[in-house]
């Protein structure tokens, strides 16, 4: 591969527009909440790098009552150990470009970072400006913090989180504190039996679709195992009737299993694909085995007409997900989050993935909570894709035109067709 071809490919990828399949953007104006309170510590606390600070030994100081100087002194103790991670580098490489800094965060410049971040987050156009600079044309937004139907408009495309529907039939809460049954009853919905509950879920999915939702989102690995056995309708109705106090945990799990299967049927009915969180879990504290994509194999086999967008490369169970995506027509492979977890692993696994799986089955998403974070995620996704494709050209596994075709598919075209946008 000539140097000219290399630069042509790099330029092509850098200038691609992105259809981002996964974000958690809560604030779409200027600041995240009160602009006067959004500072370097709020940004760090909302970014994935906070998990690396925590892993390195830092207690959560980002939202504490400590003064700014006290927070910095605590961060400074572990900062040298975190600088090498992809979480840190993707964030600060992006911030350097957006804010014009020459150096990453340090004792000599943290106050200037703080000042500039505060200044920009008082600008109501900053969110849109950053997304435009990132090349994000549209993004699918999982508003897990709310049960209300989202408003249409802008670059935002809604996704409906199904965790509350599965976990709350007996009045319990999911890991985000949501109780779907309680929410429905407060809205005046009468739920006397399991049929009433499922009919309400059906209507709710339909209402979200009318509001522009293009997918359901299964993040149940944060609540329980991703293996959903089959429960008979008779048994499910018996458990529902018994209620939360009388049902044993085994019975509650069986009812959750039944509801998940019913929701898969509703996904097919409404023509909505299902996004699924697999692999690494943010924050830890749960069995990693819950999120192994192999646990989903019975769903993939049973619901042939459903379409599954399986997230996070299944990392560290990536090989299993590659085989599932290769062997089953309804299973698709999403790189979302992975480039900022490990830039190195993403490039390597993408080459293995392209050896095994047709390139129309691969997507990308940022999985971030803020615009600057997503900017860094796009930047690292494009770097990873470039390096993988450059290596394929060098190894004569692809031509320059092949590489361009694959890059555009991963970052834009595949998602547009799959989600029918």
Q: What is the pLDDT of residues 237-265, one digit of tens each?
A: 999 999 988 999 999 999 999 999 999 99
Secondary structure class of 140 (helix, strand, coil): strand
* Residue numbers of the chain with a pLDDT score lower than 70: 1, 28-36
Q: What is the pLDDT of residue 284?
A: 80
Give the model's pLDDT for residue 29.
61
> What is the rounded distance in angstroms from the CA atom of residue 359 to the CA atom of residue 335?
12
Q: Is the dihedral of CA 364, 367, 369, 375 positive or negative?
A: negative
Domain layout of the chain by residue ranges: 31-120, 126-418
Is 224 exposed, middle or buried (CB count within 10 Å of its CB: 0-12, 13-18, 19+)?
buried
Contacts with 396 (C-beta within 8 Å, 6 or more apart), sequence order? none
> CA end-to-end span of the chain, whole Å?
35
How far CA 359 is from CA of 43, 119, 203, 382, 404, in Å, comes to: 35, 42, 35, 16, 12
The pLDDT score that the predictor gives to residue 35 is 54
Q: Whole-number mean pLDDT of the chain?
A: 94
77 phi/psi in degrees, rounded to 5: -65, -35
- Rounded CA separation 105/96 (Å): 9
Dist CA 390 CA 370 (whole Å): 30
Residue 26: predicted pLDDT: 87
Burial 177-207 (b: 16+ CB within 10 A, else e): ebbbbbbbeeeeeebeebeebbebbbebbee
Angle, helices 233-242/194-210, rounded to nearest 10 degrees: 100
Domain 126-418: CATH superfamily, name plus number: Metal-dependent hydrolases (3.20.20.140)
Q: Say how far apart CA 353 and CA 326 lie, in whole Å.
A: 9
Give just the sign of the alpha carbon dihedral 180, 331, 150, 420. Answer: negative
Per DSSP, 151 falls in state P
Is pTM beyond 0.75? Reply is: yes
**DSSP 3-state of 56:** coil
| Nearest C-alpha neighbor of 276 from the set 323, 221, 329 | 221
Residue 36 is predicted with a pLDDT of: 56
Asked if the domains at 31-120 and 126-418 fall in one CATH topology, the answer is no
The per-residue pLDDT for 213 is 97
Residue 106 has a pLDDT of: 93
Model confidence pLDDT, tens digit, residues 395-418: 999 999 999 999 999 999 999 999
Q: What are phi and psi of 303, to 5 degrees?
A: -105, 75
Tens-place pLDDT, residues 158-182: 999 999 999 999 999 999 999 999 9
Q: What is the pLDDT of residue 149?
A: 87
| CATH fold group of domain 31-120 | uronate isomerase, domain 2, chain A (1.10.2020)
Q: Are strands 136-142 and 274-276 parallel, antiparallel or unpaired?
A: unpaired
At 368-385, the pLDDT tens digits run 999 999 999 999 999 999
């Amino acid at each position: 591969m000539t140097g000219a071809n290399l630069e042509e490919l790099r330029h092509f990828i850098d200038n691609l527009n992105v259809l981002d399949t996964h974000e958690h953007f809560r604030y779409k104006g200027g600041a995240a909440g009160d602009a006067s309170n959004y500072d370097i510590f709020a940004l760090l606390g909302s970014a994935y790098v906070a998990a690396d600070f925590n892993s390195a030994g830092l207690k959560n100081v980002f939202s504490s009552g400590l003064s700014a100087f006290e927070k910095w002194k605590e961060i400074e103790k572990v900062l040298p150990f975190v600088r090498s991670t992809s979480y840190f580098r993707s964030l600060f490489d992006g911030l350097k470009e957006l804010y014009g800094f020459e150096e990453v965060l340090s004792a000599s410049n943290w106050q200037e970072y703080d000042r500039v971040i505060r200044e920009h987050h008082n600008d109501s156009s900053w969110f849109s400006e950053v997304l435009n600079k990132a090349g994000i044309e549209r993004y699918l937004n999982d508003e897990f913090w709310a049960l209300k139907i989202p408003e249409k408009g802008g670059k935002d495309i809604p996704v409906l989180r199904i965790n509350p529907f599965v976990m709350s039939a007996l009045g319990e809460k999911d890991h985000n504190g949501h109780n779907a049954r309680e929410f429905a009853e407060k809205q005046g919905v009468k739920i006397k039996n399991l049929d009433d509950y499922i009919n309400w879920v059906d209507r709710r999915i339909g209402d979200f679709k009318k509001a522009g939702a293009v997918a359901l989102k299964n993040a149940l690995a944060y609540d329980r195992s991703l293996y959903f056995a089959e429960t008979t309708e008779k048994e499910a109705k018996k458990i529902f009737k018994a209620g939360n106090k009388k049902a044993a945990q085994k019975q509650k799990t069986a009812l959750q299993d039944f509801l998940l299967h019913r929701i898969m049927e509703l996904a097919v009915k409404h023509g909505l694909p299902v996004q699924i969180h697999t692999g690494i879990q943010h924050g830890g504290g749960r069995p990693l085995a819950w999120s192994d994509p192999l646990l989903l194999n019975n769903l993939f086999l049973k619901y042939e007409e459903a379409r599954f967008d399986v997230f996070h490369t299944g990392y560290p169970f990536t090989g299993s997900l590659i085989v599932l995506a290769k062997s089953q027509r309804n299973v698709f492979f999403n790189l979302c989050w992975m480039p900022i977890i490990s830039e190195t692993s993403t490039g390597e696994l993408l080459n293995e993935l392209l050896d095994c799986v047709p390139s129309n089955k691969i997507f990308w998403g940022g999985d971030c909570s803020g615009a600057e974070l997503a900017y860094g995620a796009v930047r690292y996704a494009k770097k990873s894709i470039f390096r993988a494709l450059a290596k394929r050209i060098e190894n004569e596994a692809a031509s320059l035109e092949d590489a361009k075709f694959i890059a555009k598919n991963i970052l834009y075209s595949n998602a547009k067709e799959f989600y029918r946008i």
